[in-house]
A = this chain, B = another copy of it.
């Protein structure tokens, strides 16, 4: 009987990880994923951030020096995609998605962020069915965070939480350029 009781306790204590999406045209999507990662690290969790499309020297990469249990890896080139993605863009994103799938399945990290994954889908760098498969087959305890504008409806459907960051006012429109330490 006491054995059975123990099993029961183990079951209720197992945390459920959810699927969160941050999308929309406003500032704050990757930023929220970073904040969520910081909070998770503070609670003793391990976090893996895979940044799709991005390959630039972002200030946030330095966060790995400060936060134990945080890994950030970039799966993009050091420039933005203009108009049409190259073969290299596609290969890097596909390889990134394969690695992310392994990272999730390994259950080594509590939170896995797929940063700008929605934009990768928008540019057809990766296949929607592959991302859906990753979301649907994730180990129960792992929290997945997907960011980027243009999230497809199929992902909203299977997510637990979706926030749209809506631009009400943005200083880019006033000619202010992106600033290191604030936007990247």
Contacts and interface: CB of A to CB of B under 8 A. Distances in A.
Interface of A: 15-16, 18, 20, 22-24, 26-28, 30-45, 58-63, 66-68, 111, 143, 156, 159-171, 174, 176, 179-182, 184
26 contacts: A26-B163, A27-B161, A27-B163, A28-B165, A30-B35, A31-B32, A32-B32, A32-B35, A34-B39, A35-B38, A38-B63, A39-B59, A40-B59, A41-B66, A42-B59, A42-B61, A43-B59, A43-B62, A43-B181, A43-B182, A66-B67, A161-B170, A163-B165, A163-B166, A163-B167, A164-B166
Given A15-B179, A174-B160, A181-B44, A31 B39 contact: yes
Contact residues of A: prevailing secondary structure: mixed
B171 A161 contact: yes
Contacts of A170: 161-162
Nearest to A36: B31
Contact of A162 (B38, B44, B169, B179): B169
Contacts of A60: 38-39, 42
